[in-house]
Amino acid sequence: MSQAHEKQNPAFYAIIALLVFMSVGPVLLMFVNSFKLDVDIISGTTGLIFLPTIQNYETALCDILWYEPEHLDFCALKFGGAFINSLIIALISTLLTLVIGCMAAYALVRFRFMGRDTVSLTTLMVRMVPPAVLLVPVFGLWNNEFCLDRDGLIGGFIRDTFGGRGDVCLAGTHSGIILVYVAMNLPFVIWILQSFIVQVPRSLEEAARVDGAGPFQVFFKVVLPLIKPGLAAAAIFTFRIAWNEYLLASALSDRNTRTVPILIVNNMSEFNVEWGVIMATGMLLAIPPIIFTLFASRQIITGMTAGAVKG
């Protein structure tokens, strides 16, 4: 932008300041409150005059702290474990979605093959399926159909070797949740990446092929490096959904695979909400997306506009 910035009316800046305040205000409020004791939150000492404390964070993370916080005699909130679960699930599902989605998008853009139109239309259609619609079938399937039978071959083997009931279900495992997230995010990732792959000049790929590279080499060595911005955008959107999702995770997880959103909702529905601790957990859940936003807002915006403007 070499153009000089225009001088604007002061009222204009006032409007902008107001808008910034409105969009960031609630987040800041939560941030500030997460450092307050419940007494301070409820008594309503408005403003910034309070003694900041990390007690709420200590309560939330008590199961992975190396010391025992003084104000706690029992660690009720297993937030640390949930945080690790969330990280595992979100990272692995993002990675898988990207690799698989990228290959599919490339095939859809670059090759003419039988069934191409069907696949591309289906991808577009399943984009609109809400998680709530998947709830019932996924719950049923993951608990019943997608199980290793305890009398079956592998189930019997597991029972004899490791003991236990011998039936292994997808429900209650990390992989079960990851599988849904990958499937749920694939259509969107394929859609976004298509619009980036189209822009890669064909001549580059042909040059590589003339030099003797196979289709997989062309893909990994020529195309992938060129669509990095698209990959970044797709990665952020996938991570965001996998990290934030509540409904399907709550249906599929058990005590050991619970993710952070489930924990927050469970604590919210109790009669006496401990605002300070809840805000601290909320803040911890919000931090990764906030970091992404601050460092990669350009990619996010490109991804968003590529999705809609070229749709």
Partner 1 sequence: MRIAVANRLTPYLFMAPAVVIMAIALMYPLGYMIWGSFRDWSPSQTIGEAEFVGLKNYVTLWGDPNFWESLSVTLTFAFFVVTLEMLIGVGLALLLDRNIRGMSVLRTLFILPMMIAPVVVGLMWRYMYHPTVGTFNRMLDSLGLPTVDWLGNHALMSVIIADIWQWTPFIFILALAALQSLPRSALEAARIDGATAWQQIWHIKLPLMMPVLIVTGLLRLIDAFKVLEVILVMTEGGPGLSTEILALRISRTATEFRELGVAAAMSNYLLILLLALTLAMFAFTRLQEARAARIRAAVEEES
Question: Which of 158, 180 has the CB closer to partner 1?
Answer: 180
Question: Which of 130, 201 has the CB closer to partner 1?
Answer: 130
Q: Which of 257, 277, 256 is nearest to 268 (CA)?
A: 277
Q: Using DSSP, state whether 238 is helix, strand or coil.
A: helix
What whole-number distance in Å separates Cα of residue 96 and Cα of residue 14? 45
Q: Which of 144, 69, 141, 92 is nearest to 259 (CA)?
A: 92
What whole-number distance in Å separates Cα of residue 225 and Cα of residue 181? 25
Contact 150, 167 (CB under 8 A): yes
Q: Using DSSP, state whether 8 is helix, strand or coil.
A: coil
Least distance from partner 1 to the Cβ atom of residue 33, Å: 7
Q: Locate 188 and state its tokens.
A: 């969107």
Question: Which of 160, 165 has the CB closer to partner 1?
Answer: 165
Question: Which of 108, 168 has the CB closer to partner 1?
Answer: 108
Question: Which of 158, 275 has the CB closer to partner 1?
Answer: 275
Least distance from partner 1 to the Cβ atom of residue 42, Å: 5
Least distance from partner 1 to the Cβ atom of residue 162, Å: 25
What whole-number distance in Å separates Cα of residue 277 and Cα of residue 282? 9
Least distance from partner 1 to the Cβ atom of residue 27, Å: 6
Question: Which of 68, 151 has the CB closer to partner 1?
Answer: 151
User: Tokens 């079960």 correspond to what residue?
Assistant: 176
Least distance from partner 1 to the Cβ atom of residue 219, Å: 8
Least distance from partner 1 to the Cβ atom of residue 244, Å: 4
What whole-number distance in Å separates Cα of residue 59 and Cα of residue 278? 10
Contact 219, 200 (CB under 8 A): no
Least distance from partner 1 to the Cβ atom of residue 72, Å: 22
- Residue 124: count of CB within 10 angstroms of its CB: 13
Q: Locate 249 and state its tokens.
A: 């995770």
Question: Which of 158, 251 has the CB closer to partner 1?
Answer: 251
